[in-house]
Structure 1
Amino acid sequence: MEAAYWSHRGPAPVMLSSHRHDDLEINLVLDGRLDYRFGGTDVSVHAGEVALFWGWTPHQLIGEGPGARAGSGDFLWAHIPLGDVLAWGLPDHDLGAMLLNRPVLVPAVAAGRDVESMFVSWQRDFADDGAELIAGLEAQAFVRRLLRHHRDTIDLRPDGGHGPAGMDRVIDMVRFVVGRFRDPIEVADVAEAAHLHPHHAMTVFRQDVGSTIVEYLTRCRVAEAQRLLATTSMTTAEVAHAAGFGSQSSFYAHFTRARGCAPGEYRARVR
């Protein structure tokens, strides 16, 4: 899935395997239960709870709770591009909580709003260019309230704590990649942004993010190429260059591996 503002109400989709998408995912369980698998760890989201997590973490929906009939639950979903989330300027301890390989679970009442109505309005507003900014600001406030509740619950101190040890370095690397993936950057550049030796940076990044720096860098470039193919008339050579790929052959290889089809075929499908 391409990174974009998106909201939907409906049953839990069937997932035969884990997947990734480079944005913040928000799940609200109104009725029933969502059972996830995050990198081998099972996590349940119960009725009245909101789950926040970075979609780059490999995750798979494995059910709606024991004995539940498929499609019987009531769920609301929203996706917010990671680039927009990083631009919010969240404290590192809050951002770090969402970048871990597990979701942040918070009771919906912590938002202090009618969350169901808010999600329903997002479905309409995210599809309207004129209203997307308003919905985006509302989504930011919503996420901030939930993260504040989460921080207070686990007693993290905002006056100097950055969440798990070393997570601030990972955040530095993610910020750098998201802001510079169109440039010819390498692992050493990403490591330098966090003041780490490249070998240590690769270890820390993989441990906390669940992928290598190169994999994440490539994913950002592929996502940008998808956006350009779908929304512009640029040639594939121009798309390859604009998305940060060093050559057309590299672009074709990485794009086809990630999307299961060549760039030209992808463009034909989405336009």
Structure 2
Amino acid sequence: MATYAIGDIQGCLEPLQCLLKKIAFNPARDKLWLAGDLINRGPDSLATLRFLYKLRDSITIVLGNHDLHFIAVYYGLRKQGKSDSLDELLIAPDRADLVYWLRHQKLVHHDPDLGFTMVHAGIPPQWNLTDAMAHAREVETVLQSNNPEKLLAGMYGNTPSEWNNNLTGVERLRIITNYFTRMRFCSASGELELQTKESAEAAPIGFSPWFSFSERKTRNEKIIFGHWAALEGKVKSNKVFALDTGCVWGGSLTALRLDDEERFSCDCPA
């Protein structure tokens, strides 16, 4: 038995199947962690989601910004963007089942036995793991409720830009969601900078990659994340594992075997 974590698939089914063949993944024996952004932008979002749904008993998922965006579009709370590729999903006869399944996934996953935590974008420096899990659950509870629109209708936007324990309502849900699904750069106190998407060296003045702060409260945790293709899977930390290697942009799709931290990859067509 082995556990593998895979970065952003984004509807690239062929590279995913290539990677699963390379690691000889056996759903009866092995476990698969997926770091979010399962769909959108790539060519096969519907087929990818259906493929993963069939494997659902063997996989653990954290949601990414593209997954949440699809759910919001499904509920009619957001229009597709020019680069979205969700049309097939939105008219699929099984779309309601797929959306229900996605809504019941996590924002943060922690396995104390394996010693790994997985999140799509990151964990802000001011939160320890207990904080992160508790705040993730706040959003998950609303998303899984009979009124997910409360979250979905208000999650778009860049403010508030910094956490405050006194935040309530949709603003509180929005910043939690932004930390876990959109963050790249922030300040030591957790102020978000959500415009810059380039490499770690492109940090705006006053900001740094979320994982770079020496006093980050999760600095002793092993954290798997995706979301940041410009990193090309390279992070200067032996406890932080970047798995978005830009498959949808013609890069590669990467898997990390948690048991020995060995990486595997398959090239992706442009």
- Alignment TM-score, normalising by the size of structure 2: 0.31
The structure carrying a bigger helix percent of its residues is 1
- Alignment TM-score, normalising by the size of structure 1: 0.31
Greater RCO structure (CA 8 Å; 6+ sep): 2
Q: Which has the larger radius of gyration?
A: 1
